[in-house]
């Protein structure tokens, strides 16, 4: 009887702690997401996404894509991948694509999508938003261009693409949109709670430390210290939106050097949500060679070069371009 009471007390304390932490994490995350979602909905209703997509038409030809695909990437960058998937499916009958073209476009979308929300999370975590914006879009274009050249040289993926999933059109009207977004936020809150509980259990069992030790040589080679290992793993698996609250919480804890936060956020920006987002693009007809393997290889090489460069920059440049001033001063005191 006494043991049962003790077990119940431990479980109650475990649940109370993680629910409290989840509420705190979600409060910080939703303060970013909700205003951005509303603003982007207004701009979408005003036709901004269409205008941006049309202006990007000539740029898409650099990647061997029809100009109409600019609307797909603009939708991904300004809203999310699911909305971009709907636009892609809508345009395919008029602008048919090959497997290689869809893979190039999907890889670019995976690197640069949901930028208003994800850049806000990066900014609240201490990174300079303008630098993250430049890195995300620039890296997406570079990776897409290299894939385009590689596939052309190999003469690979010339068959017309056949998507295996047709996404539902997004709801029309503000009421339906609000219902969908409230459900999405509730889902995110549940994922945050489950993730916190799972991380707590894994930490108590020593699994988290084991994972970080196994990954530390790879992370260290990219300039990311052990302290940033947990948020890097969360970002790579869950993504910046789902893992954003945890990332902000850890980044503000004072345990992680500012330089590590910048490099970890940059790496997560290029290579995150490896499960859900990769599967979504796979269903649209993209190939794993680009959306997973090439993206991971590109992200690793990019971070190695970036870490080597950052290590040789003076603090004044780092403070001005990479991290906010308060983060930069903290980094200086830790170096």
Give 152-181 pLDDT, tens digit per residue.
Answer: 999 999 999 988 877 767 767 888 888 888
Residue 281 has pLDDT above 60, yes or no: yes
CB-based contacts of 5, cutoff 8 Å, min separation 6: none
Residue 297 has pLDDT above 90, yes or no: yes
Average pLDDT of the segment spanning 90-118: 93
Instruction: Provide the pLDDT for residue 131.
Output: 94
Residue 324 has pLDDT above 80, yes or no: no
Instruction: Provide the pLDDT for residue 71.
Output: 92
Backbone phi, psi, residue 127, to 5°? -90, 155
Tokens of 266: 């940059």
Tokens of 213: 């030790």
Strand partners, 98: 160
CB-based contacts of 218, cutoff 8 Å, min separation 6: 300
Average pLDDT of the segment spanning 99-110: 97
The pLDDT-based confidence of 295 (bands split at 50, 70, 90) is: very high
Say if residues 322 and 262 touch (Cβ distance below 8 Å): yes
The pLDDT-based confidence of 112 (bands split at 50, 70, 90) is: very high
Residue 141 has pLDDT above 90, yes or no: yes
Residue 335 has pLDDT above 60, yes or no: no
pTM flag (> 0.85):
no
Say if residues 65 and 105 touch (Cβ distance below 8 Å): yes
Residue with tokens 């992680």: 256
Instruction: Provide the pLDDT for residue 38.
Output: 85
Question: 322-326 contacts: CB < 8 A, separation 24 or more?
Answer: 322/127, 322/128, 322/131, 322/259, 322/262, 323/126, 323/127, 323/128, 323/258, 323/259, 323/261, 323/262, 324/123, 324/126, 324/127, 324/128, 326/126
Instruction: Provide the pLDDT for residue 332.
Output: 40
Say if residues 60 and 108 touch (Cβ distance below 8 Å): no
DSSP 324: -
Higher pLDDT, 297 or 235: 297
What is the average pLDDT value for the chain, to the nearest integer? Answer: 83
Residue 27 has pLDDT above 90, yes or no: no
Instruction: Provide the pLDDT for residue 139.
Output: 97
Separation CA 301–CA 299 (nearest Å): 6
In Å, the largest CA–CA distance within the chain is 73
Residue 300's closest CA among 257, 271, 259? 271
Average pLDDT of the segment spanning 178-206: 80
Average pLDDT of the segment spanning 267-275: 85
Residue 240's closest CA among 73, 63, 36? 36
The pLDDT-based confidence of 329 (bands split at 50, 70, 90) is: very low
């Amino acid at each position: 009887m006494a043991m049962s009471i003790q077990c119940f007390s431990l479980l109650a304390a475990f649940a109370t702690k993680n629910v409290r932490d989840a509420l705190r994490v979600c409060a910080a995350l939703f303060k970013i997401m909700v205003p951005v979602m509303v603003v982007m909905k207004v701009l979408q209703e005003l036709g901004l996404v269409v205008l941006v997509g049309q202006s990007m038409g000539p740029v898409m030809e650099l990647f061997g894509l029809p100009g109409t695909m600019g609307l797909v990437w603009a939708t991904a960058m300004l809203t999310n991948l699911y909305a971009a998937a709907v636009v892609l499916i809508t345009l395919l009958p008029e602008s048919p694509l090959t497997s290689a073209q869809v893979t190039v476009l999907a890889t670019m979308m995976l690197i640069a999508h949901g930028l208003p929300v994800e850049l806000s999370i990066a900014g609240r975590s201490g990174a300079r938003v303008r630098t993250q914006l430049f890195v995300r879009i620039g890296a997406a274009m570079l990776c897409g261009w290299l894939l385009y050249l590689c596939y052309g040289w190999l003469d690979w993926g010339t068959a017309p693409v056949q998507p295996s999933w047709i996404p539902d059109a997004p709801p029309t009207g503000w009421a339906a949109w609000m219902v969908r977004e409230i459900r999405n936020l509730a889902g995110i809150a549940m994922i945050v709670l489950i993730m916190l509980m799972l991380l707590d259990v894994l930490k108590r069992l020593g699994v988290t430390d084991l994972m970080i030790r196994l990954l530390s040589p790879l992370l260290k080679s990219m300039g990311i210290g052990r302290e940033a290992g947990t948020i890097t793993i969360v970002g790579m698996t869950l993504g910046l939106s789902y893992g954003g609250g945890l990332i902000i919480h850890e980044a503000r804890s004072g345990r992680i050097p500012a330089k590590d936060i910048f490099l970890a956020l940059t790496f997560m920006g290029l290579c995150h949500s490896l499960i859900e987002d990769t599967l979504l693009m796979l269903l649209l007809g993209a190939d794993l060679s680009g959306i997973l393997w090439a993206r991971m290889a590109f992200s690793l090489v990019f971070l190695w070069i970036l870490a080597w460069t950052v290590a040789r920059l003076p603090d004044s440049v780092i403070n001005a371009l990479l991290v906010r001033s308060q983060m930069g001063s903290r980094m200086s005191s830790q170096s």
